[in-house]
Amino acid sequence: MKVYNFSAGPSMLYDEVKAEAQKDFFDYAGSGMSVTEMSHRSKPYEAINAEANALFRELMHIDDTYEVLFVQGGASQQFEAIPLNLLKAQGSKADYLVTGNFASKAASEAKKYADVYVAASSKDKNYTYIPKTYTFRDDADYAHFTYNNTIFGTRFNAVPQANIPLVTDISSNILSEEIDVNKFTLLYAGAQKNIGPSGLTVVIVKKDAIGKHLPICPTMLSYQIQADNQSLYNTPPCFAVYMAMLTLRHVKKLGGVKAVEAHNIAKAGLLYDFIDNSALYTNKVAKEDRSRMNVPFVTGNEELDDKFVKEAAKAGLVSIKGHRLAGGMRASIYNAMPVEGIKTLIEFMKKFEIENK
């Protein structure tokens, strides 16, 4: 059965990318080996590592003042790596905007090492909007925010104003929209939404911001160590980096991030328009703060929501159940979700609405 996978991550990969990985699974580039079994010190893998890095730089317009690092452990591990690397001293100040579950976790984890100040939070309305007024402490070492909130379906439609180094989690919007990297000291993303399979985390960090990690920082979490070793300090997640490279090639072929962004705006627009004009479905997020990647919606009746999720799965629209913190449904529509997937979902929603009047 043709399936559209609305999972929040890991999530759909481009068919072209999967096809190439499958084709070359036994014998990559005439090496006689699968990338899953190839030494990370071999020439073919070093070429993969270098090309993936170069493509990130090209597609995201990242200049030489930044490192692009491939690490492990997911964004969650970065919640701790960030203070361990960027704080001037243990107990120094770090400011956070708390706009969802992962933003909240990032702030909580940092408390282990930092004097954390929550400059703003949207918890009062179950994270259905992005706070617009806040002030960061001038003497904080950095300010952190989550660019797109996967669970609650919100997105910063403008980069926060800050006089201190800005750090952002772009796990769920990397490569989906143009981001001005130069506004940031550090950007990071788990791969499993818009880049490739899980197990890879990308960290883009200003070279002059690293090299001074806290003495208690584990070596494996040190950005400088990873930078000094071109992300090959120890064995990297080779197959995930390889599939990321294939995805990046494909994004380039599609016209780059700008072209993909236009496509994403159109895709999300179709779905929001349908929801806004529907009598049954509601999206609770403030309109100006809506995510283009994660579209939560409810029927207003929990039993009906459950029925929706079950019947949708039977119709091939899978992993559409909302996160337990938000309830209802959530359609995650990352780069690789084709417009046909959105249209099929809308047709299903129409049918379900008629059948459940």
Considering only the stretches 17-25, 56-64, 151-159, 285-293, report the one whose residues sit in contact with a copy of itself under the rule CB under 8 A: 17-25
Secondary structure of 75-123 in HEC code, one letter for each residue? HHHHHHHHHHHHCCCCCCEEEEEECCHHHHHHHHHHCCCCEEEEEEECH
Q: Tell me the three state secondary structure of residue 294.
A: strand
Q: Is 72 in the site for a copy of itself (CB under 8 A)?
A: yes
Two tokens, residue 18: 């999967």
**Between vectors from CA 32 to CA 28 and to CA 38, what angle results, nearest 5°?**
65
CB 128 within 8 A of CB 175: no
Q: Is 151 in the site for a copy of itself (CB under 8 A)?
A: no
Q: Name residues whose C-beta falls within 8 Å of residue 125's C-beta, 6 or more positions apart in sequence.
A: none
Count the residues of the shown chain that bind a copy of itself, applying the rule CB under 8 A: 67
Q: Is 196 in the site for a copy of itself (CB under 8 A)?
A: yes
Shortest Å, Cβ 226 to a copy of itself: 11
Considering only the stretches 49-57, 189-197, 205-213, 269-277, report the one whose residues sit in contact with a copy of itself under the rule CB under 8 A: 189-197
Q: Is 57 in the site for a copy of itself (CB under 8 A)?
A: no
Q: Is 153 in the site for a copy of itself (CB under 8 A)?
A: no
CA distances from residue 185 to 2, 13, 66, 144 in whole angstroms, order as listed = 42, 29, 9, 10
Question: Among 126, 161, 229, 234, which residue sits at the site for a copy of itself (rule: CB under 8 A)?
Answer: 234
Q: How many residues does the chain have?
A: 357
Question: Among 46, 51, 54, 73, which residue sits at the site for a copy of itself (rule: CB under 8 A)?
Answer: 73
Cis, bond preceding 10 (omega within 30 deg of 0): yes
Q: Is 284 in the site for a copy of itself (CB under 8 A)?
A: no
Question: Among 22, 208, 279, 357, which residue sits at the site for a copy of itself (rule: CB under 8 A)?
Answer: 22
User: Can you give the binding site for a copy of itself, defined by CB under 8 A?
Assistant: 1-3, 5, 7-13, 18-19, 21-22, 25-26, 31-34, 36-42, 72-77, 79-81, 84, 109, 112-113, 190, 192, 196-200, 215-216, 218-221, 233-240, 243, 316, 318-319, 336
